[in-house]
Structure 1
Amino acid sequence: MFRRALLGLLATVSMTAALVAGAAPQAAASGDDGVHAAVVTITYSDARAGEFANAVTQGVAIWNASVTNVRIVKAAAGTRADVQVIADDGWPRATLGPVRPGGSGTVWMGRQAVYQGYNVVRIASHEFGHILGLPDRKPGPCSSLMSGSSAGVSCTNPYPNSTEISRVQWLYSGWFAAAGGTGKVVID
């Protein structure tokens, strides 16, 4: 409780200091709950995403179409990205966010799940759900993006449900996003 209050206070002090220093405020967006929040932009690099680059682009587009107060954009070549996407031979996994600007997150697009028949766009969207702060919800139905592999290989749904969307909206609506994520890596 004390840590949460302290993080909230630090975020408020930081935002106030930025405004006093003359920093331009970000554009406002209205969340599902009607609360106006600054749009948080996080960047990603797919330079190491290999054959998954297109699926990552699709997964990011799904999230950008689903939420209003966080944007995920591809980092310009040669600039530091908040999220690195890496293709490897393991199981898909990601840093549990919410990742914030200047933060550090990683999505590993593991080939093992693809070889087992899981849908690659669902994997990308699911792993970016972790980056945005959503934990796994297992077991779960195919209608839940964060049910991950527990929905089975026949599930190809890459879209977050209304509960998942609302949670990301909340996570990026205030001090919690300013505080950042856990840094914990979640598998699946």
Structure 2
Amino acid sequence: MRVRTLTGGLAAVLVLAGPLLNGPAEAVPSAGTAPRQVAVDVLTYDASRAGEFKAAVDRGAAIWNESVESVELRPAGSGESADVRIVADDGWPRSVPSSQGGGTVYLGREAMDQGYYAIRVAAHELGHMLGLPDRKPGPCSDLMSGASAGLSCTNPYPSAAEKAQVERNFEGAPAGALLGRS
């Protein structure tokens, strides 16, 4: 009986002393719990010429930042050249991409004067800068359906499919190194 007690005691000491002798044990996360590593590409925007729509642009950018992980929209710093320029004008809203992640967004007053929701319009036009095409006609649940969803549509959030497409558009691109960006 005494030998079993000694052997059991010795085994317990070795188990407890193992980390001290071999270094600390490290937990290895399983494939299902490992955090996803995403390289974030930062796109800057200049809303200094957005006029009365500056707050709508900032909210539209924030919505995209809440919705996707691989790209972040930030206001350009003082003296910094912006990837995306935002301009208010009297026409219809439109985007003129120069590349994926760059170009000019025109927030036309004509749509807002007709009653379209400025934040939805801003988020929609920023979606073009993120590589999304118009999806017309379309339901209000699809941000890129644009005006075809009707005046009553105030949804400024991208659908799951739109989010996934933006993630695919920017995945694997080294931060700041998108093709054709200046």
Q: Determine the structure 2 residue equivalent to 1:40.
A: 41
Two-structure CA RMSD over aligned residues (Å): 1.8
Structure 1 residue 79: deviation in Å? 1.5
What amino acid is aligned across from residue 53 of structure 2 in structure 1? F
Look up the match of 1:16: none
Larger CA Rg, structure 1 vs 2 = 2
Match of 1:167 in 2: 165
Counterpart CA distance in 2 for 1:141 and 1:128 is: 19
Alignment of 1:39-78 (within 5 A): 39-78=40-79
CA distance in 1, matches of 2:151, 2:38: 37
Tell me whether 141-150 or 36-45 shows the greater mean CA deviation: 36-45
Gaps of 5+ in 1: 1-33, 182-188
Secondary structure in 1 aligned to 2:178?
helix
Distance in 2 of aligned mates of 1:110 and 1:163: 27
1:1-188 alignment runs, 5 A limit? 36-96=37-97, 97-99=99-101, 104-175=102-173, 178-180=178-180
How far the C-alpha of 1:98 sits from its partner, in A, is 2.1
Instruction: Report SS of the residue matched to 1:146.
Output: helix
- Secondary structure of 1:178's aligned partner: coil
- Between the two proteins, the alignment pairs up a number of residues equal to 144
- CA shift digits 1:8-67 (9 cap, x unpaired): xxxxxxxxxxxxxxxxxxxxxxxxxx9744110010001100000000010000000000
- Which stretches in structure 2 are left out of the alignment for 5+ residues? 1-34
> The residue matched to 1:86 in structure 2 has which SS?
strand
The Cα offsets for residues 95-126 of structure 1, whole Å up to 9 and x where unpaired, read as 34521xxxx41110100100111000000000
Counterparts of 2:156 and 2:180 in 1: how far apart (Å)? 25
How many percent of aligned residue pairs carry the same amino acid? 53
CA drift at 1:78: 1.9
Q: CA deviation at 1:77?
A: 1.9
C-alpha deviation, 1:142, in angstroms: 0.2
Distance 1:119-1:171 versus aligned 2 partners, 3 A rule: same
TM-score (normalizing by structure 2): 0.74
Deviation at 1:178, TM superposition (A): 2.6
Partner of 1:18: none
Show structure 1 runs of 4+ deviating over 4 A: none
Tell me the distance in 2 between the aligned counterparts of 1:62 and 1:83.
16
Query: What is the identity, as a one-letter code, of the residue corresponding to 1:125?
Result: A
